[in-house]
Amino acid sequence: MPYTVVGLADGVPVASCSVIENDCAHRPQYSPWVAAVYVTPSHRRRGVASAILQEAARIASRGGITGLYIDCLAVTAPAYERNGWTIIEREVGDKDSVVMLGRLSA
């Protein structure tokens, strides 16, 4: 760790996400984190984000990691929930965000 998973379509990068030790300095109890999840607009809503998150989780699980965390906008939480992630903290304010946990099978 750290590592980045890149999704390709016809050999062209269309998505990525990284797994890093800490993405949230005020939450040191959580580690490691998924960070910088991105899918190009033309490839959204096609399961690409799910695929790269699953690959990131598979790699983490191989390394003995049992859970990944992500800090994301609450409006995006349903996409992660569809992939088995659960909300463990909620922040309401300027940025309505949530911390989510994706449990992995080791």
pLDDT digits (tens, 9 = 90+) for 78-89: 999 999 999 999
Please tell me what DSSP assigns to residue 42: G
Computed on alpha carbons and rounded to an integer, the radius of gyration of the chain in Å comes to: 13
The closest alpha carbon to 18, from 48, 59, 47, belongs to: 59
Is the pLDDT reported for residue 37 higher than 70?
A: yes
User: What pLDDT sits at residue 30?
Assistant: 96
- In this structure, which topology does domain 3-103 adopt according to CATH? Aminopeptidase (3.40.630)
Instruction: State the pLDDT confidence band at 106, using cuts at 50, 70 and 90.
Output: low
User: What pLDDT sits at residue 105?
Assistant: 82
Is the pLDDT reported for residue 92 higher than 80?
A: no
Instruction: State the pLDDT confidence band at 99, using cuts at 50, 70 and 90.
Output: very high
CA distance 29 to 7: 30
